[in-house]
């Protein structure tokens, strides 16, 4: 193969990477793994490859678009974060391209492909498969094909991927919730909501048990209730079942999010009990719902502007080849309102 016939596409195919990755190596962009850089540089040397101007521009032409994928914008956590991310992106001269894939992974992959075709400069992925306890190997491979070309920032984890991670400190969030209720004198505390195969929920459960043990508080398996969804309806149904079980009621309930807290509160009121006089309620997320409920919800929240700023800034720094941290943790904040009380 003579030098004149070798193109950036030949180099990419032989190295097993994308043309944009080859272009990044040629332009000295830092957003390429060491292993891939070595492969590409060896082939460039082997063929004495000298790219034309078009080849060099493959990775330098920016659209100023950042793809943003969320499972369900009806969830106030995702809606609040999306608005904050859009604001942060606009302040940096970028636009956010939103994909609300409604927990449909086939639709997510279709929208992901559309974003790539529209040449977004980076992707931010929230929830879904990037928050599963066991990472899907096939999905990881698909994402790694994307990270060959553009930066991908996720919340949660995706083992084996080359993504940047910006996460809420879920362990600290759970500790903050449990310690608050224990300080108020509660020892019969239920944790309601979420699936054990979701990493953020699993972390909260493990931390909940650890905090109770640390204080010498006994608990049973019935004190932790799993739900298939994170909805108002699930919160209502679970709390109704607790009432119907005939077992001693908890004096405090931790809801996995504000939506579930709404359902739990509805059930408590329907059964003629008061909040917080009979049962204290605490939730995670601290979205607008927390201040809209009666009584207002005590909630462990996240500085959404800081969280969004870290997500967007990480994406932009990676676009610019400036090596942002691979992992970041955002600290939670407890907002004490009227739904929790001392006993």
Q: Please give the Cα distance from 103 to 206 (Å, whole number).
A: 25
For position 9, what pLDDT does the model report?
A: 64
- Pairing between β-strand 164-168 and β-strand 252-255 as defined by DSSP bridges: unpaired
Q: Which of 13-22, 42-51, 162-171, 297-306 has the least mean pLDDT?
A: 13-22
Q: Please give the Cα distance from 241 to 94 (Å, whole number).
A: 48
Residues of the chain with CATH 1.10.260.40: 3-57
pLDDT at 338 over 70: yes
For position 1, what pLDDT does the model report?
A: 38
Report residue 162 as tokens: 């080359």
- pTM of the predicted protein model: 0.82
CATH class of the domain whose range is 170-302: alpha beta
Indicate the burial class of 282 (C-beta count within 10 angstroms; 0-12, 13-18, 19 or more): buried
Q: Which of 16-25, 132-141, 181-190 has the least mean pLDDT?
A: 16-25
pLDDT-based confidence at residue 268 (cuts at 50, 70, 90): very high
User: Could you give the dihedral angle defined by the CA atoms of residues 22, 25, 29 and 31, in that order, rounded to the nearest 10 degrees?
Assistant: 70
Length of the chain: 343
For position 51, what pLDDT does the model report?
A: 65
For position 232, what pLDDT does the model report?
A: 96
pLDDT at 291 over 70: yes
- Pairing between β-strand 332-335 and β-strand 298-302 as defined by DSSP bridges: antiparallel
Residues of the chain with CATH 3.40.50.2300: 65-168+304-331, 170-302
Residue pLDDT, tens place only, 120-176: 999 999 988 898 898 999 999 889 888 877 899 999 899 998 899 999 999 999 999
Averaged pLDDT score across all residues of the chain: 91
pLDDT at 56 over 60: no
For position 119, what pLDDT does the model report?
A: 86
What is the average per-residue pLDDT within 27-56? 78
Residue pLDDT, tens place only, 212-261: 999 999 999 999 999 999 999 999 999 999 999 999 999 999 999 999 99
Higher pLDDT: 7 or 334? It is 334
pLDDT at 99 over 50: yes
Task: Find out if CATH 3.40.50.2300 is the number for domain 65-168+304-331.
Answer: yes
pLDDT at 48 over 90: no
Higher pLDDT: 31 or 315? It is 315
pLDDT-based confidence at residue 52 (cuts at 50, 70, 90): low
Share of the chain above pLDDT 70, in %: 94
pLDDT at 208 over 50: yes
CATH class of the domain whose range is 3-57: mainly alpha
Residue pLDDT, tens place only, 58-79: 555 688 999 999 999 999 999 9
Strands (E), the chain: 65-70, 95-100, 122-125, 152-154, 164-168, 189-192, 224-225, 252-255, 280-285, 298-302, 327-330, 332-335
For position 60, what pLDDT does the model report?
A: 54
For position 2, what pLDDT does the model report?
A: 39
pLDDT-based confidence at residue 302 (cuts at 50, 70, 90): very high
Q: Contact, 340 vs 276, CB < 8 A?
A: yes
């Amino acid at each position: 193969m003579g030098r004149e016939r070798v193109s950036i596409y030949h180099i990419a195919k032989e190295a097993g990477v994308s043309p944009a990755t080859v272009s990044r190596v040629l332009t000295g962009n830092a957003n390429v793994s060491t292993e891939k850089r070595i492969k590409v540089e060896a082939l460039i040397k082997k063929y004495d490859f000298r790219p034309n101007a078009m080849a060099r521009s493959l990775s330098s032409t920016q659209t100023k678009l950042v793809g943003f994928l969320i499972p369900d914008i009806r969830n106030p956590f995702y809606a609040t974060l999306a608005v904050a991310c859009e604001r942060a992106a606009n302040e940096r001269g970028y636009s956010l391209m939103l994909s609300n894939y409604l927990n449909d992974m086939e639709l997510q992959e279709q929208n992901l492909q559309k974003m790539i075709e529209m040449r977004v400069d980076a992707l931010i992925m929230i929830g879904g498969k990037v928050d599963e306890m066991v990472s899907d190997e096939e999905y990881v491979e698909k994402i790694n094909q994307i990270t060959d070309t553009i930066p991908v920032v996720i919340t949660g984890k995706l083992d084996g991927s080359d993504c940047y991670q910006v996460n809420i400190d879920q362990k600290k969030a759970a500790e903050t919730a449990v310690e608050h209720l224990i300080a108020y004198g509660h020892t019969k505390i239920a944790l309601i909501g979420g699936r054990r195969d979701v990493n953020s929920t699993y972390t909260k459960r493990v931390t909940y048990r650890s905090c109770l043990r640390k204080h010498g508080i006994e608990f049973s398996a019935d004190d932790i209730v799993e739900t298939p969804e994170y909805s108002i309806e699930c919160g209502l149904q679970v709390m109704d079942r607790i009432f119907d079980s005939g077992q001693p009621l908890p004096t405090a309930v931790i809801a996995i999010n504000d939506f579930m807290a709404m359902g739990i509160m509805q059930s408590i009121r329907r059964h003629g009990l008061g909040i917080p006089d009979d049962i204290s309620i605490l939730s995670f997320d601290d979205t607008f719902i927390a201040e809209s409920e009666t009584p207002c919800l005590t909630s462990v929240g996240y500085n959404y502007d800081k969280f969004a700023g870290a997500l967007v800034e990480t994406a932009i720094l990676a676009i610019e080849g400036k090596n942002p941290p691979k992992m970041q943790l955002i600290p939670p904040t407890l907002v004490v309102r009227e739904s929790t009380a001392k006993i």
